[in-house]
Chain A
Amino acid sequence: DSGVTQTPKHLITATGQRVTLRCSPRSGDLSVYWYQQSLDQGLQFLIHYYNGEERAKGNILERFSAQQFPDLHSELNLSSLELGDSALYFCASSAGTAPLEQYFGPGTRLTVT
């Protein structure tokens, strides 16, 4: 158990819909990272938050947004969903701003039908 929790575990929704994925980092970790894992793209970095502030953006679509709250949990919002958004979404946390050791959650499997 990494100490990182993600909810829900599975999510099935229809095209055009909006969903919210939730992540709670390991106790004491201030950084949260979101990744998308799919068969064709592999593991892609989406966005990084440190102590509530956005620190880095990766290949995140404009339809996707995220935030980190004062209690350090983070939410990833995916809107206008398309079939191609079906993937595993991982959250990871680390203590500082540099991810020298990331702890990954179990992931949320999103299926868009």
Chain B
Amino acid sequence: AQSVTQLGSHVSVSEGALVLLRCNYSSSVPPYLFWYVQYPNQGLQLLLKYTTGATLVKGINGFEAEFKKSETSFHLTKPSAHMSDAAEYFCAVSRSGGSYIPTFGRGTSLIVHP
């Protein structure tokens, strides 16, 4: 079975500060990993994904994530937070057990202070 743990249901940063959202996964096979963002009253939007190849993945809006197999992690970072980054962020894992249906974490709410 596959699972995702997002550490911290809320993360608060100041505008201009580093954003770090943590995600750890468990998977019995090499995983596919995703980060999605959900703005208020909207559906989820794919930020970035890792399938194979380069372990540092760049996404939209200046976000990036690094797949670390030894740490079973896929943390999301952004060097400088903007007010517009305030949203709910979801990490997801798929591919384990022959299923490509992603399992989502519980989400982390990013709060950006001026």
Contact = CB atoms under 8 A, between A and B. Distances in A.
Interface residues of B, number: 21
6 contacts: A33-B101, A42-B105, A42-B106, A43-B107, A98-B100, A99-B102
Interface in B11-56: 32, 36, 41-46, 49, 51
Interface stretch (A14-22, A67-75, A77-85, A104-112): A104-112
Interface of B: 32, 36, 41-46, 49, 51, 90, 94, 99-107
Central interface residue in A100, A103, A106, by most chain B CB within 10 Å: A100
A49 interface: no
A42 B107 contact: yes
A98 B32 CA distance: 11
A56 B99 CA distance: 9
Interface of A: 2, 4, 33, 42-43, 45, 48, 56, 58, 90, 92, 97-107
